[in-house]
Chains A and B, each alone.
Chain A
Amino acid sequence: EPEVTQTPSHQVTQMGQEVILRCVPISNHLYFYWYRQILGQKVEFLVSFYNNEISEKSEIFDDQFSVERPDGSNFTLKIRSTKLEDSAMYFCASSEYSRRAYEQYFGPGTRLTVT
């Protein structure tokens, strides 16, 4: 069964550094998402992306965050200058169609630790 993959599984960085989290969505999917989960808290929507544009973003997704599909297979989340409070699990998801939340397939996540 096709699956979403994410790298790295764990990233440790110092405060103020830039990080790029990488995701490979399922190959025929056209809609891409990032969510995050701070330890012990809820899974939170960050951003949705389609046709090389952000479709929707949450309040969390401020100017420090950006997303990109640099080639035909990768989807990345960049945090420009990390803060301690950015420490969380970051999940990428993809879907073939829009507005079908039940068809969102999630990756295993990247644990980001900011020290």
Chain B
Amino acid sequence: DAKTTQPTSMDCAEGRAANLPCNHSTISGNEYVYWYRQIHSQGPQYIIHGLKNNETNEMASLIITEDRKSSTLILPHATLRDTAVYYCIVSIHTDKLIFGTGTRLQVFP
């Protein structure tokens, strides 16, 4: 699996967009970009995934660069409940999720 690089931590004001970057310069053509989050030691929660195209769902948007070497998860209107560790995972479709250290997002009032 390709390696990902994420900032250790980020802050965001409540109500503003949170943009979480992820570098995955060695991604292969058949590997997807997945985003999960973990709120305070709870079980990880799936957010979104994509292959090439940008994706949007009720939780977030995923922007993948044309060369696929990086991506950005966007939470359009962050709330205090979005404070969590966010994991960017690059993998083929798999059963085995390999988590990195993620980005700790702190949303402040």
Contact = CB atoms under 8 A, between A and B. Distances in A.
Interface of A: 4, 31, 33, 35, 37, 42-45, 48, 55-56, 58, 89, 91, 93, 95, 98-109
Nearest to A93: B43
A101 B96 CA distance: 7
Interface residues of B, number: 22
Contacts, number: 63
A89 B96 contact: no
A48 B96 contact: yes
Say what secondary structure dominates the interface of chain A: strand
Interface of B: 34, 38, 41-46, 48-49, 87, 89, 91, 93-101
22 contacts: A31-B95, A35-B44, A37-B41, A42-B99, A42-B100, A43-B99, A45-B98, A55-B95, A58-B96, A91-B43, A99-B94, A100-B93, A101-B49, A101-B95, A102-B48, A104-B46, A105-B46, A106-B43, A106-B45, A107-B43, A108-B43, A109-B42
B95 A56 contact: yes
Say what secondary structure dominates the interface of chain B: loop
